[in-house]
Chains A and B, each alone.
Chain A
Amino acid sequence: MEPLKKQFSSRPELAAYLQQQFPAATERDPEISPWRGGLAEALRKLAEFKPQRYAATRNHLDGQVSGLSPYIRHGILSLAAVKTQAVAVAGSAQVIAKFISELAWRDYWQRLYVQWGTGVWLDREEYKTGWSPSDYAAELPADIQEGRTGLGCMDFFSRELRSTGYLHNHARMWLAAYVVHWRRVQWQAGARWFLVHLLDGDAASNNLSWQWVASTFSHKPYIFNRENLEKFTSGRFCQDCHSKTQCPFEATYPDLSARLFQIGGAA
């Protein structure tokens, strides 16, 4: 029994070797991310991160986020090590409370994973949308997967997900809300798609976040509108969007709730 190779002269050589070794996985997803694995890269990102700026800018696509989630998910860095370093940079835990609370979300999801195991694939509660689970499609439509919905923002996020294996958290929420609420697709279909592509994907953080958006693990469904998306993307997707005159996100929250759900109550 021979171990696999560990010496490679370049990234493309490694990629070619892995394509040959893992044909089934390559069929599921043949892309190579520009994101590099490894502790050295994780420490480089950690050193660049400015935790003091996180709270004020984190919702913006260009905001100061750490980009450490793939490294934390795989135990390359522990949550505790990231927190310790961020506190050392900031001077105190209090001034980076928001960042620490976001690290705590992962700890929370992991604790639920211990309790629920494969139950993270089940609706934890009923949908608070007025729709029943059977009203949602079981399969993810091809136009979403292929990034050809005609919506500039969603198509960009879909391509970004496939080509890099990473999406800003706000983009994940917008895309998930679009899949579940605008297209009325079961959250499980979206969650499976994300898990194929996300470098930081695990069934707990991923699925339970989808359930938070869907409302099967939250008090109300998460939705957004064009004003919100434009604000946190500096309008970059809307300017040249083919659908800008018929944007499905262009409405007030009460109007969107009335349009998308059988009962009111989204925010």
Chain B
Amino acid sequence: MKLAWMHPDCLNTDWLPPDSRAVFVFDDDYLAASGWGLKRIMFVYETLLELPVEIYRGPTVDILAQLAAVDGIVTVDTPDPWLQARITELRGRFAVDVIPPPAFVELKGTVNLQRFSRYWNKAEAKLLA
């Protein structure tokens, strides 16, 4: 059974394989880097209470390393640089599958992101179809 690492950009077990063991880690380093206070922790914790997920506290990679099964780790992709750095660390030690989150709109080729209007010109027809 794979270990499913749920992080703050993915609080939905439906995005992860059903036959995995879901884990969330509150990491002081992330909390400080992100500036989170009690309000945010409470909001996230309440979300986790509804889910079949084990909640831990400590350094993310150390915790996951202690829990990781031989089948490896699966998680959801994120643009967050702090979380990306943890994924890179984990990849040095385990087999890690990174699943894309549900797509809002699939855009082929290079997308010009210089201004929202450029992106919208490309996305609008698909989104309003």
- Rounded to whole angstroms, the CA-CA distance of A74 and B34 in the bound complex is 13
Which residues from chain A contact B39 at a C-beta distance below 8 Å? 29, 31-33, 165, 197, 199
* Range for the number of chain A residues in contact with chain B: 35 or more
A8 touches which of B15, B49, B123, B129 (Cβ 8 Å): B49
Report the Cα distance A76→B39, complex, angstroms.
17
| CB nearest to A39 among chain B residues | B50
Could you say which residues of chain B place their CB within 8 Å of the CB of A8?
49
Q: How many angstroms between the C-alpha atoms of A33 and B46 in the bound complex?
A: 12
Q: Complex formed: what's the CA distance from A204 to B38 in Å?
A: 21
Nearest-CB residue, chain B, relative to A29 = B37
Q: Tell me the complex Cα distance, A1–B34, Å.
A: 25
Q: Among residues 1 to 59 in chain B, which have CB atoms less than 8 Å away from a CB atom of chain A? A: 8-12, 15, 26, 28, 31-32, 34-51, 54-58
**CB <8 Å contact, A37 and B102:** no
Asked if B66 is at the interface of the complex by the 8 Å CB criterion, the answer is yes
Smallest Cβ-Cβ distance to B52: which chain A residue = A6
Residue of B nearest to A112 (CB): B113
Contacts of A110 in B (CB 8 A): 79
* Contact among A19, A77, A113 for B80, CB-based, below 8 A: A113
Which of A73, A197, A203 meets B37, CB within 8 Å? A197
The answer to whether A3 and B38 touch across the interface, beta carbons within 8 angstroms, is no
Complex Cα spacing A76 to B7, Å: 11
**Distance of A87 from chain B, by nearest CB (Å):** 10
Whether B70 sits at the interface, judged by CB under 8 Å, is no
Beta-carbon contact of A75 and B76 below 8 Å? yes
Shortest C-beta distance, B129 to chain A (Å), equals: 7
Which residue, of A1, A108, A112, has the highest number of chain B Cβ atoms within 10 A? A108
The answer on a CB contact under 8 Å between B116 and A76 is no
Q: Which residues of A contact B (CB under 8 A)?
A: 1, 3-4, 6, 8, 14-15, 18-19, 21-22, 24-26, 28-33, 35-40, 70, 73-81, 83, 93-94, 97, 100-101, 103-105, 107-108, 110-115, 117-118, 165, 192, 195-197, 199, 201-204
Ranked nearest first, the 8 interchain pairs of A and B with the lowest CB-CB distance are A29-B37, A37-B46, A113-B79, A37-B47, A78-B102, A37-B43, A79-B104, A75-B10
Pairs A–B under 8 Å by Cβ, sample size 30? A1-B56, A1-B66, A3-B55, A4-B26, A18-B41, A22-B26, A22-B41, A24-B31, A25-B31, A26-B38, A28-B35, A29-B39, A29-B40, A33-B42, A37-B48, A38-B49, A40-B50, A73-B9, A80-B103, A81-B102, A83-B104, A101-B120, A107-B123, A108-B119, A111-B119, A117-B81, A165-B39, A192-B35, A203-B80, A204-B79
